[in-house]
Amino acid sequence: MKEIHKLRNQYWVALKHSKDKSGQPFELPSALEGFSDTTNDHYLFVTWYDYAKAGYPLPIGAQVFQVWYYAMYPDKLANAEEEEVSKRVFSNVTEIERFEQKKRLRQKVEIYLHDKELLAHPKTDVRPLLM
């Protein structure tokens, strides 16, 4: 378990705090050396997936992220229904540049933030999610 926490905190602390344990400012380039935006997709997915499995409602941004994740990584899909939804919402997302992939994710989050059916669903946390 200690190793899992170490892996989790590897970049988290540098991104969350401006200073290290000794009070010195983080040297972000060295603190984030080895950080991968695409690897971070998997960390975020697992975090939100576990959160939902624990019975907590998900913010709309996290729900849209899960659909985006399945479109990005179809080999991770559990069933055909999720595959169909992810392909419909994020068609051809794997064929565009990373910046555009994330831009499309942000655009869909903005759209679904106003979806009355989704907002009323008991598995939706309607509190704002900072992105």
Q: Please state the rounded mean pLDDT for residues 21-33.
A: 65
Over residues 97-116, the pLDDT tens digits come to 999 999 999 999 999 999 99
Clarify whether residues 20 and 45 are in a common domain.
no
Q: How far does Cα 40 stand from its chain's mean position?
A: 8
**pLDDT given for residue 21 in this prediction:** 72
Percent of the chain topping pLDDT 90: 51
Clarify whether residues 5 and 50 are in a common domain.
no
Mean pLDDT score across all residues of the chain: 84
* Residues 90 and 66: beta-carbon distance below 8 Å: no
Clarify whether residues 41 and 104 are in a common domain.
yes
Instruction: Identify which of 89, 10, 79, 77 has the alpha carbon closest to the alpha carbon of residue 45.
Output: 77
What pTM did the predictor assign? 0.74
Clarify whether residues 120 and 130 are in a common domain.
yes
Domain count of the fold of the chain: 2
Q: Tell me, what DSSP letter sits at residue 95?
A: G
**pLDDT given for residue 61 in this prediction:** 95
User: Residue 81, Cβ neighbours under 10 Å: how many?
Assistant: 9
Return d(Cα 107, Cα 54) in angstroms, integer. 28
User: Residue 104, Cβ neighbours under 10 Å: how many?
Assistant: 18
**pLDDT given for residue 22 in this prediction:** 78
Over residues 41-94, the pLDDT tens digits come to 988 898 899 999 999 999 999 999 999 999 999 888 768 888 889 999 999 999
Clarify whether residues 26 and 48 are in a common domain.
no
- Domain region containing 62: 36-131
Clarify whether residues 80 and 119 are in a common domain.
yes
Task: Identify the residue with better confidence: 61 or 11.
Answer: 61
Clarify whether residues 5 and 31 are in a common domain.
yes
